[in-house]
Structure 1
């Protein structure tokens, strides 16, 4: 059985967040969505639960962090082709996201955005050669890279 990942985020305006996350191709699952929550399917095994602050409070005694001023997590999603990064991030920006930091190392590339509540997402691609850990092959293909 495949492992599923459920990312849960508190949102200040559920309707806005439903529109935002479905605007770039992720789908809302009506079977698990209501006035307090939205279940967004990112892939067959990755799901996003967007929850009103009052619904979020049912799962924790901690205060909801203001993600526009603090950072606790970066949600990273990989894509198969580098060009998909630009498509997805550009669509998110059009839908109301704020662009964050980008990284370019040749063998790995990413761009980030913050959703309307400030939650950070990184869309990234890594050359399959780098995933093997064969850094000699990576250097042969890309040369010396500066990591900043």
Structure 2
């Protein structure tokens, strides 16, 4: 079995957050969703668990930080082309995201822009030339 990653995020508005992650091409997974959490699969190996603050609090004794004020993590999500980077940002922004909270990066073989979700979590949407990786 391939290894998987599940990113667990506390969110303020479950429905709004779900819309944002669907705009990142996520597929809702009703098997692991209920009225306090929504599971979204970004690929066969990448899942995002969106949880109300109450639900998230059952998994940790630490206070929930405010990602709008402090950087806690940068999450990078690959796409298939340079154009897909821009297309993804357009969809994510229309779904409540904030485009380019960090400067875009263009290194020729790699192009990256970022989008902030409704709770302040920053996702880097990136494309890398496969020939540069294999070269």
TM-score bin, normalised by smaller chain: over 0.9
1:112 corresponds in structure 2 to 114
Cα shift readout 1:8-42 (whole Å, capped 9, x = no counterpart): 11101112111222234311111111111000010
For 2:115 and 2:32, the matched residues in 1 are separated by 26
For 1:112 and 1:90, the matched residues in 2 are separated by 11
Unpaired runs of at least 5, structure 2: none
| 1:1-148 aligned within 5 A | 1-100=1-100, 101-132=103-134, 134=135
Unpaired runs of at least 5, structure 1: 135-148
2:31 partner SS: helix
Q: If the length of structure 1 is used for normalisation, what is the TM-score?
A: 0.85
8 Å CA contact 2:16–2:96 kept in 1: the answer is no
Larger Rg: 1
1:94 positional shift: 1.0
Structure possessing the higher relative contact order (Cα contacts under 8 Å, 6 or more residues apart): 2
1:106 partner SS: coil
Q: If the length of structure 2 is used for normalisation, what is the TM-score?
A: 0.93
Q: Which has the higher strand share?
A: 2
1:51 partner SS: strand
Pairwise CA RMSD of aligned residues?
Answer: 1.2
